[in-house]
Amino acid sequence: MLPNPIENLVKQLARLPGIGPKFAERLVFFLASQPKEYTSAIAYALIDFAKKIKHCAECGNISETGLCPICASPKRDRTKICVIESALDIIVLEKSGQYKGLYHVLGGVISPHKHIMPENLRIKQLVDRISKRNNSPAFAASPEKEKNNPKIQEIIIATNPNTEGDTTALYLVRVLSPSGVKITRLARGLPSGSELEYMDEATISSALAGRKDL
Amino acid sequence: MLPNPIENLVKQLARLPGIGPKFAERLVFFLASQPKEYTSAIAYALIDFAKKIKHCAECGNISETGLCPICASPKRDRTKICVIESALDIIVLEKSGQYKGLYHVLGGVISPHKHIMPENLRIKQLVDRISKRNNSPAFAASPEKEKNNPKIQEIIIATNPNTEGDTTALYLVRVLSPSGVKITRLARGLPSGSELEYMDEATISSALAGRKDL
């Protein structure tokens, strides 16, 4: 019943996560009520994005350049790699201002029922990245090179604190332990500003198990 | 901190109603994880839409043609005009299959605190549309023309059942009553499939006030 360009735009927008056909329809009718420049501005931002954005060859972060600004920065602590599910997680970690190391984007988590297996994630790249850096014979010969590219001393696993994130973390521990590098995982416990009353049992359990001396 | 094409796309998407900056960020990172063709398909659908979609000269519905398919259809009952806030409402009314008349899109409702006054809506066009059709001296002379374009006999006001919609309905009654055309408004009452227990007082009141003999 709707004209073709509308049907097609609804269909395209409805493919985005969190935007169903109803929401897409609302967006399209909203766009129809706006000047054409409004719609074009969004279209050109999408085209520019599709044209310019690639993935960092080292960590998989999204980037305009071959190496992302974090991997390229001389100010980052190159002895630490924080492993996250998605590039989006980098924003949150960076906002905390507490982490100065490097990242490694997995591109998802192991989830057999969604047919996501370890080989679909950037796990092999992580293993290679560590062994390339830590086993290079060049390092022994050139202390200068070692200073700029020191050995990796810690892998911080920051997959989400849920079943799939935990499964992936366990898998990572298995494949990374032969490297001999220390492996840690983000702490579990009560989120800041929360109230005990509203916490689920799993969170309370992890807060108890991880309790600290004062 | 984010590359420019990302920042810009987040900004553009966040301007859409119902999509805040957080949601926009999620969408952009989702797009980054998809093949470039995915993003381009959305961009081209937007461009096609901006290029081809205009507003029906008669009713204000969105359309690919000068007159929308409803206004152009010989099958519609041309004695009735249903006045709605947005072209989106046409879809819902058409889906009900109960209405065979024409439409008139206001393009919003009167809302002084949002600076939307009667002159910002397509109210003058509605008044003109009715007087042009009902007062044309040509009709008396040509019965054939009158058959294809009969006088308007009913205006159904279908603005939303809330304060702004009611205000706009009252205003429309005032400006349309000189035309002598019958003016009606969609019934208020209990929505089908609802439960009394969960209805608000205003709905209960209107259901009581509008009760019918059985």
Among partner residues A33, A38, A87, which is closest to B107 by beta-carbon distance? A33
Return the minimum-mean-pLDDT range out of A34-48, A92-106, B192-206.
Answer: B192-206
CATH number, domain B4-52: 1.10.8.420
Please name the fold of domain B77-185: Dna Topoisomerase Vi A Subunit; Chain: A, domain 2 (3.40.1360)
In this complex, do B39 and A46 lie within 8 Å of one another by their Cβ atoms? yes
Residues of A in contact with B39 (CB under 8 A): 46-47, 49-50
Say how many C-beta atoms besides its own lie within 10 A of residue A193's C-beta: 5
User: Which chain B residue is nearest to residue A22, measuring alpha carbons?
Assistant: B88
Strand order in the sheet with A101-105: A101-105, A77-84, A154-157, A182-185
User: Is A4-52's fold the same as A62-185's?
Assistant: no
> Between 3.40.1360.10, 3.30.70.980, 3.10.580.10, 1.10.3720.10, what CATH number should domain A62-185 receive?
3.40.1360.10
In this complex, do B49 and A5 lie within 8 Å of one another by their Cβ atoms? yes
Rounded to whole angstroms, the maximal C-alpha distance in chain A is 73
With a cut of 90, say whether residue A119 has pLDDT above it: yes
In this complex, do A91 and B30 lie within 8 Å of one another by their Cβ atoms? no
What ipTM score was computed for the predicted complex, to two decimals? Answer: 0.76
CA distance A91 to chain B (A): 8
pLDDT at A198: 85
- Report d(CA B134, CA A214) in Å as an integer: 85
pLDDT at A139: 56
What pLDDT band is residue B143 in, cutting at 50, 70 and 90? Answer: low
Write down the domain spans for chain B.
Answer: 4-52, 77-185
Residues of B in contact with A53 (CB under 8 A): 3, 5-6, 32
